[in-house]
Amino acid sequence: MSDARRYNEDEIAEILERATTNEGAAQPASKGSEAGLTLEEIQEIGSEVGIAPARIADAAQAMASRNLVGPAKTFLGAPRSVSRIVRIDRPLSDNEWTRLVVDLRETFDAVGKVTSEGNLRTWRNGNLHVYVEPDGDRYRVRMRTIKGNVRTATALGAAFIGMALVLFLDFLAEGATFRALLPVLLFAAVGLGAFGFTRATLPGWALERANQMEGLAERVPLLLEE
């Protein structure tokens, strides 16, 4: 037992809060020590107010898996990809996979395309992919997406800025009047605008996708339990 993980007060509070969500049970006060509590000790506390040990175990697993997020690709410092992994103990049954697909369609408001090959299952909608796949001696639900229009916006912005540069060099070579600079400024403004607009929309998009994936990550253990 000495090697069992110990949870600090903040982690204990989060586990109990997750375990009591939608159960109507009062959250018990944690009786932690400076060294923290093991999962079994937290389950004993929960049992005092009627929280099933399995619910607490699922909550601890959900909390542990929240940090299983792959490195995000970025554009001008803003995330343009979002990913999430939920580790599970076994493959999904046909019925569980069907219910997960229903959840995915409701969460992302998209029908998507479903493929299955043995225990390997995939749901795709454009750049949004969800996989159920082996992970060592266990399985995982892996979700990832990338903002598809970033490359297009980058290419468009670069093209306009490149055109502005060419026109500016012609302006310097020919010594044209100031009015000849107007097309240069126009092309530069369009190019910078394409970069700026794309950059401005990324944080909100990434936050929405991250919240959607976090909600799914919390529901997957409950799906297996049911």
Q: Are 120 and 25 contained in the same domain?
A: no
> 65 and 217 in contact (C-beta within 8 Å)?
yes
Instruction: Tell me how far apart the alpha carbons of residues 213 and 215 are, in angstroms, rounded to a whole number.
Output: 5
Segments forming the whole domain that contains residue 54:
9-65
Q: pTM above the 0.85 mark?
A: no
159 lies in some domain:
yes
- Choosing from 21, 40, 65, the residue where a domain stops is 65
Give the residues across from 86 on adjacent strands: 141
Model pLDDT for residues 95-145, shown as the tens digit of each residue: 999 999 999 999 999 999 999 887 789 999 999 999 999 888 888 899 999
> Phi, psi at residue 115, to the nearest 5°?
-135, 145
73 lies in some domain = yes
Model confidence pLDDT, tens digit, residues 33-45: 556 788 888 888 8
**Which pLDDT band, with edges at 50, 70 and 90, does 71 fall under?**
low
State whether 121 and 216 are in the same domain.
yes
